[in-house]
Structure 1
C-alpha cells in the first residue's frame, strides 16, 4: 500500500472507533497519532533496507509482530504518563492496520496473503532489488502512475478513488482534525 492508503484506512478505522467508544470524532492529537502509527513501519524499515542496507527487505523490524507489542506498550506508557491514553490507542490501531493491510491489500485486485511481511526475523518477503530510497520510491511511484494512466478505470482504481473521497468526507464530517486546530491557533495569534 501507498502511505496515503495506509493513512486513509487507519483514519477510517480510528474515526469509527472514537465515535463508538468515546462518542466523539478524533481529536487533532489523535489524528496525528493515527498518522504516525500508520506510517511508522515503513519509516523504519524502508530506509533501513533501501538506504542503509542494514536489512535485506523493507519488511523487517518495524513490521515485525514480535516488535509491535513492545513499541505499542512504550507508547502506552508515555501516553499514560501524560494523561492521554486515547493517543496510545490511536497509534496502536493505526500501527496494527498498517500490518494487516501489508499482509493483505484489499485495494489491489492481484493481492494475495503475505504473512511473511510481519514475521521478521523468522521470515521476510524475498527481495531482489537494490538501490537507494529515492530509487525505490521513484520506481514504485512511476509504476503506480503508469497503472493509473494506462489501465483505465479498473475496479482497483475505482476502489482507491472511492476510498479517497470517502475519507475526505469523513474527515470533514469529523471537523477536519489537525487543520481545525491549526486554524484556531492561527486565529488566536492574530487576536493577540
Structure 2
C-alpha cells in the first residue's frame, strides 16, 4: 500500500477509536502523531533496506509486530507518565494499521506473504536483483485493484476528516503563521 492509503486507513481506524471511547473526533496533536505513525514502518524499513542494505527488504523491522507491539506499549507507558497517552494510542493505531494492511494481499495473492509480521522469527526473501525503484513499484501498481482501492479509502477518510473538523490542521496553521513574514518585517 502507498502512503495515501496508509494514512487514510489509519485515520478511519483512529477516528472510530476516539468516537467509541470519547464520543468525540480526534484531537489535533494526536492526528499529527497518527499521520507520522501511519508512515513510520516505511520510513524505518525502506531506507535501511533500499539505500543502506542493512535490512533484507523494505518490510522487516518496522513492519514486524515483534517490534511494533513492544514499541507501542513502551511508548504508551512513557507518554502516560506525562499525561500524553492519547498520542501513543494514535501512534500505535497508525503503525499497527500500516503493517496489518500491508499483509492484506495474502488473502488473494498466493505470491504474497505475511512473513514480515513476525520478522525475524519468520524469514523474508531478500531482494533478488537489488532494491526496487519507487517508479517501478508505482507502474506495477497501476493495474492492481488493491492500489485503486486506496483512492476510495482516501475519499472516505477525507469526508470523515472534514466532518471531524479537520483535526491536525490547527497546529500546522499556527506554525505557519509564526514563521510567515509580515509586511513590517522586511
User: Which residue is equivalent to 1:170?
Assistant: 160
Q: 1:35 to 1:105 in 2, by over 3 A?
A: farther
Shift in Å at residue 186 of structure 1?
5.8
Residue 118 (structure 2) pairs with residue 119 (structure 1): yes
Residue 3 (structure 2) pairs with residue 6 (structure 1): no
User: Which residue is equivalent to 2:52?
Assistant: 52
Q: Which residues in structure 2 correspond to 1:1-192 (within 5 Å)?
A: 1-105=1-105, 110=109, 114-126=113-125, 127-131=127-131, 136-144=133-141, 147=142, 151=143, 156=146, 159-183=149-173
Tell me if structure 2 keeps the 8 A contact 1:65–1:119.
yes
Separation in 1, partners of 2:36, 2:4: 12
- Name structure 2 gaps, 5 residues minimum: none
C-alpha RMSD of matched pairs (Å): 2.7
Separation in 2, partners of 1:105, 1:124: 18
Tell me if structure 1 keeps the 8 A contact 2:4–2:150.
no
User: TM-score scaled to structure 2, two decimals?
Assistant: 0.82
User: TM-score scaled to structure 1, two decimals?
Assistant: 0.80
Separation in 1, partners of 2:134, 2:112: 23
Deviations 1:115-134 (CA, angstroms, capped at 9, x unpaired): 20212112233232414xxx
Instruction: Report the count of equivalent residues.
Output: 179
Tell me if structure 2 keeps the 8 A contact 1:104–1:113.
no
- Give SS of 1:175's match: coil
